[in-house]
Amino acid sequence: MAAGRCSVSPLPLPLSLLLLASTAAALSPRDSASRELKQLGGLWSFRADRSPSREQGFEEKWFSGAAETGPVIDMPVPASYNDITQDPNLKNFIGWVWYENEVWVPRCWISPEAGKRVVLYVGSAHYFAVVWVNGIQVAFHEGGHLPFEADITKIIQSSPSLQHRITIAVNNTLTPYTLPPGKIEYMTDTKRYPRGYFVQIIQFDFFNYAGIHRPVLLYTTPNVYIEDVTVVTDVVGVTGFINYKVSISGSTHFTLSLTLRDHRGQVVASIIDGPPFGELKLLDPNLWWPYLMHENPGYLYNLEVHMKSKNDNTLYEDFYTLPVGIRKVQVTKTQFLINGKPFYFHGVNKHEDSDMRGKGLDWSVIIKDFNLLRWLGANSFRTSHYPYAEEIMDLCDKYGIVVIDECPGVGIKNPLSFGNKSLAHHLAVMKELVHRDKNRPSVVMWSVANEPASALPQADHYFKTLIASTKAMDPTRPVTFVTDTDYETDKGVQYTDVICVNSYFSWYHDSGHLEIIQLQLANQFENWYKKYQKPIIQSEYGADTIAGLHSDPPVMFTEEYQRAVLQEYFKMFDEKRKDYLIGELIWNFADFMTAQSVTRVDGNKKGIFTRQRQPKMAAFILRDRYWKLANEARNISQRFYCQFQNEEQDICQRDEKTCAAKPSFQ
């Protein structure tokens, strides 16, 4: 430890706080004949606790009314708070911030005669979150990327007013035991730093955005309600199977009916007054296929679940509709199969990141990104390095974009982060993630970590336990983690089903030497496969590129160098995909923000698009490759693609084969 520094990671929660565990959200909130939603997005009152201890808000009970205890500002929800103001101290703030909103609840929701529950749902708040309603604590949640909820019925029913105050305190402090981990380092040299000065140390390369990142809403259910629905699909010959399990809360006496409808609304299977678990069978179903693997990708049925229960002469009915895609995933020594056919991942790594909003959910950015993915010919992405919003995952299901679903296990470098405390939390996070995304056809594989220090001796037990637990929760999907450790020393890959490896040849080492890429990449693939006999995905590769910077011959940071790096990788990809290479995911889809450092000029520039989603030269190179890969995998119909811009029509006129490989979408 350098002189004048003290590495400490204090518990970021006041000891006086009641750690009321909130419930991980089981079902995505949806409108139905029995359920109503009220979105609470918009402007909330906001205040950062700038006290040295960061505990002033708890000591002064800001949850009783933050606006009454000091100055507040308007803050949009959902959004990261870091880039909203002109205050540099707020941009890099570490500690508690407080959000407050006054909301009206319809009278018909809370009358006892209505027989309804009212639930407060938070899509995500980074990282620790504490929630109060009318000054009463209702929830505590740890983890910045998954939803949680709390039943607030009794609190709002006991209030004489229909207007209720919701307060959410959020803390982005990271410790060796959080996911992702980090630590607080206090600078004790008072000749160089003010007293009490500290910084957050992280081991991951993206900005630690904070705030309420996803929608906050209220929703209702009947007092007896559908708590959870689990579906597992299978395909045997020309028959599709949907195994289901429905959980009901509030009563053990109920009847259950399930109806499966196709995209036209026609009933294709049903069970009337059936058990809470069973099987639906379809002859010659429309299977869920990935984008570019079928003319009708992303086919979804709607499973309508209808529950009736009579308690104390009161009839309760609940309706919930779940989109269902019928598909089957298998892994061999050399292939990844979807519905029995080889699938090759040609896609991207992404981030939830954009100007001003940070990690805040924004529909314009989401739809722009999906349009670019399909323009690119990408059939897949990894949720690097945390679970993405449910709204994004819904579109993956709809569009047929295949997902490697990754938990926030990034930056696990410190031996402290491999202990029992960290493992227990990691297991809990995976449980929440699997519970949230278990029914999604787009999710074909779980990733439990990215670039951990998997050569440490502790990594063996850690990943053996973590992967075994994940497989026990979901035996239908393969499990991986992404490694950058040498094949000879890695302790965790032995437990995975697919090897995902990151490498940046000619960038972080042998910088500028394009001529070594193919040799080093070939040795990487051959060594991993020889040792483990498992299929391999190149899960990251790339080069930082400043848009508009050019040089010939190529030099680092120019668009020409990024193009040359990709082309060298492509040559070896084409060799190894004949054998055991099952995918390639570029790093990164778009430039993104990072912490400031001498190696990062306004963020990470490895994107093939700028942060504003404008293409660099590499985007066109990658697009040409991905469409050719799609064309090799399947002879796409001639009716596809020629509905783009004049530029696209020119491509079609010049190259009929290229045209035939590219589909239309509107």
Catalytic residues: 451
CA–CA dist 343, 632 (Å, integer): 12
Tell me, what DSSP letter sits at residue 114?
Answer: G
Cα 123 from Cα 213, distance rounded (Å)? 7
Contact criterion met (CB below 8 Å) for 260 and 298: no
Q: Which whole-number Å values give the CA distances from 575 to 260, 280, 571, 581, in the listed order?
A: 44, 43, 7, 9
> Does residue 358 contact residue 207 with C-beta atoms inside 8 Å?
yes
CB atoms within 10 A of CB 18: 7
* Radius of gyration of the CA atoms of the chain, in A: 26
On whether the CB atoms of residues 632 and 624 are closer than 8 A, the answer is no
Q: How far is CA 391 from CA 361, 370, 558, in A?
A: 9, 12, 35
Residue 589: strand, helix, or coil:
coil
Instruction: Count Cβ atoms within 10 A of the Cβ of residue 78 and give its class: 0-12 exposed, 13-18 middle, 19 or more buried.
Output: buried
Measured distance CA(279)–CA(243) in Å, rounded: 4
Provide the greatest CA pair distance for the chain.
Answer: 82
CA dist 536 to 22, 306, 574, Å? Answer: 39, 43, 13
Residues 153/110, Cβ–Cβ less than 8 Å = yes
Asked if 483 contacts 524 with a C-beta cutoff of 8 angstroms, the reply is no
DSSP 18: -
For the record, the structure tokens of 555 come out as 């030099």
